[in-house]
C-alpha cells in the first residue's frame, strides 16, 4: 500500500489495485490488474465489450467479489480482513459498506428508486445513511438538484423523466453521500444521443471541482478532454495506460490502435 504524505502537493493515492483477479467459475475476467488512481484525478477506462472494464469498476465498491489481489481505497483493503491465523477472510457486509463510505457509483441504467420522488431519492443518503434532520436534508438535496439543473423536477417521480434527466438526478443522489471518489459505469450508454451532452457536462463540472473520478466509458471525446489518465483494457488485462494525449494520438499497442480505428470509423472524426 503506497501512500504518499500529503504535506507536499503530491496528491495521495485514492484507489490502488494490486494484482487484482476476478473469476466467474472457470472464466477469469480480470487477470491481474495493477493500477493507481490519484486523488482529484479523472481516470477513464476504455475497452471493448467483455474486456472486463465494468467488472473492474464494480470490484472497487465490492459489487463484485474479487478472489485475488487487493482493492485499496485510501490505503484500506476493501472487503477482506485477516483472521487470527493471518488468513484472508471476507468481512461482513456492514463493515465493507463502512469502508466504502467515501465511494459512490453512478450506473448505466441510473437505478433511481421509482417509488420515491426525485427529491426523496436525493434525500435518501442524507436521511437514511447520515441521519441529517429533515429540513436540512431537504435544503441540501435541493442544492444538489440545482447543481445538476434538476431542481424544477424535485417533486416528480423518476420514471416520468428522460434518461438524461434521470442520470443527472442519480449523480445528485450519489453526491448526497458526500463521497471523495465517484465511480461511473458507462453513464451515457443508455441515453439517446441528444441527451449525452447534458450528463457529460455535469461530469465535467465535477471533474473541475476536483472530484476523484473513475469512468468506464465509450465517450472518447470526454476521455480525451477531461481525463488525467486513460486505461485501455483488453481481455482482462491493462493493455496500455497513460495520459490521454499519448493513448489517443500515439497508441503503441496494436490492440489499442485497432480499437481506436474501429471506434473512429464508426463515429466519424476521432477525438
Determine if 115 is a binding residue for other proteins (CB under 8 A).
Answer: yes
Give the range of 25-33, 122-130, 239-247, 256-264 binding other proteins by CB under 8 A.
Answer: 122-130
Give one word for 211, left, alpha or beta, with left for phi > 0 and alpha for psi -120 to 50.
beta
Pair 250, 78: CB distance under 8 Å:
no
Residue 78 is a binding residue for other proteins (CB under 8 A):
no
- 82 binds other proteins, rule: CB under 8 A: no
Using CB atoms within 10 Å of the CB of residue 159, give its burial: 0 to 12 exposed, 13 to 18 middle, 19+ buried.
exposed
CB of 133 to other proteins, least distance (A): 17
Taking CB under 8 A as the criterion, the residue among 13, 174, 188, 241 binding other proteins is 174
Cα distance between the two ends of the chain: 35
User: What mask, x for binding other proteins by CB under 8 A, covers residues 87 to 106?
Assistant: ------xx--x--xx-xxx-
Please give the residues from 138 up to 167 whose contact with other proteins meets the rule CB under 8 A: 157, 159
Binding span for other proteins by CB under 8 A among 34-42, 68-76, 77-85, 107-115: 107-115
Pure H helices in the chain: 53-60, 93-99, 118-124, 134-147, 163-176, 193-208, 220-226, 244-249, 254-267
Binding-site size for other proteins (CB under 8 A) equals 28
Q: Which residue from 208, 186, 147 is spatially nearest to 58, judged by alpha carbons?
A: 186
Please report how close the Cβ of residue 189 comes to other proteins at its closest, in angstroms: 14
- Identity of the residue, 184 or 259, whose beta carbon is nearer to other proteins in the bound complex: 184
**CA–CA–CA angle 60, 64, 66 (5° rounding):** 80
Amino acid at each position: 500500500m503506497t501512500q504518499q504524505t500529503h504535506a507536499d502537493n503530491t496528491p495521495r493515492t485514492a484507489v490502488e489495485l494490486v494484482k487484482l483477479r476476478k473469476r466467474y467459475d472457470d472464466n477469469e475476467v480480470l487477470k491481474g490488474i495493477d493500477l493507481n488512481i490519484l486523488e482529484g484525478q479523472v481516470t477513464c477506462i476504455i475497452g471493448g465489450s467483455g474486456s472486463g472494464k465494468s467488472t473492474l469498476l464494480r470490484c472497487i465498491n465490492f459489487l463484485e467479489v474479487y478472489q485475488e489481489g487487493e482493492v485499496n481505497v485510501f490505503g484500506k483493503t476493501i472487503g477482506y480482513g485477516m483472521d487470527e491465523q493471518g488468513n484472508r477472510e471476507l468481512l461482513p457486509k456492514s463493515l465493507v459498506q463502512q469502508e466504502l463510505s467515501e465511494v459512490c457509483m453512478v450506473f448505466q441504467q441510473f437505478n433511481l428508486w421509482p417509488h420515491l420522488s426525485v427529491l426523496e431519492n436525493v434525500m435518501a443518503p442524507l436521511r437514511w445513511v447520515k441521519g441529517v434532520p429533515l429540513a436540512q436534508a431537504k435544503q441540501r438535496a435541493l442544492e444538489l438538484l440545482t447543481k445538476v439543473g434538476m431542481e424544477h423536477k424535485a417533486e416528480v417521480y423518476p420514471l416520468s423523466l428522460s434518461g438524461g434527466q434521470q442520470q443527472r438526478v442519480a449523480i445528485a443522489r450519489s453526491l448526497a453521500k458526500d463521497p471523495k471518489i465517484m465511480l461511473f459505469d458507462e453513464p451515457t450508454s443508455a441515453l439517446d444521443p441528444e441527451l449525452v451532452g447534458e450528463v457529460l457536462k455535469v461530469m465535467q463540472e465535477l471533474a473541475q471541482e476536483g472530484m476523484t473520478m473513475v469512468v468506464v466509458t465509450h465517450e472518447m471525446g470526454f476521455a480525451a478532454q477531461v481525463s488525467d489518465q486513460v486505461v485501455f483494457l483488453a481481455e482482462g488485462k491493462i493493455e496500455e495506460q497513460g495520459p490521454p494525449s499519448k493513448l489517443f494520438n500515439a497508441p503503441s499497442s496494436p490492440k489499442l490502435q485497432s480499437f481506436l480505428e474501429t471506434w473512429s470509423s464508426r463515429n466519424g472524426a476521432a477525438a
